[in-house]
Amino acid sequence: MFYPDSLFKTIWDMVITFAIIFTSLVTPFRIAFTENDDTFWKTLNLVIDSVFLVDIFINFNSVVQDEDLQLIENRCKVSVLYIKSWFFIDVLSILPFDIILNGSDINGMAKLTRIGRMYKIIKLTRLLRVLKVVKERSKLVKFA
């Protein structure tokens, strides 16, 4: 299990924060002003989605704190809490809707492929989790 104050978890939280900030800045611009992604952007999206996928596995294996700031180390309890909170949003944010919609034979799908790219905005909700972690860590600093 990864503890919130471990060096690995701290570095991982910074990596995820960077990925979320990058996504929140780049995604709306790319949706609005680009028609198709070139190889660079497809590769970069794959890398970012891979980071978010790894984050899902790390969240299943990370110790969490309850409302009373007590550590929950039981993997089953941690998994249930994660599934009830952010899991489905995290999974939705990494699904390649643009690829799924491109594979369709329905007429007029060329315009609809941009809708698939809009689902990447779901990743922006992960920014709320980062803000929650920052808030929780500031509480810990006050008690220490």
At 71, phi and psi to the nearest 5? -75, 135
106 assigned to some structural domain: yes
In the chain, the number of structural domains is: 1
Tens digit of pLDDT at every position of the chain (144 positions): 999 889 999 899 889 988 888 888 888 888 778 777 788 988 998 899 899 999 999 999 999 988 787 899 999 999 999 999 889 888 888 887 666 666 554 444 444 545 555 555 666 666 666 666 666 666 655 554
Buried b (16+ CB within 10 A) or exposed e, 27-49: beeeeeeeeeeeeeeeeebeebb
> Residue 1: inside a domain, yes or no?
no
For tokens 């704190």, name the residue.
Answer: 65
Is 18 a domain residue? Answer: yes
- Is 89 a domain residue? yes
Instruction: Record the tokens describing residue 79, joined without a space.
Output: 């998994």
The upper half-sphere exposure of residue 125, i.e. CA atoms within 13 Å in the direction of its Cβ, equals 14
Q: For the full predicted model, state whether its pTM sits above 0.85.
A: no
Residue ranges making up the domain that contains 39: 7-143
- Domain presence at residue 2: no
Report the 10 Å Cβ neighbour count for 133.
15
Residue 41 lies in a domain: yes
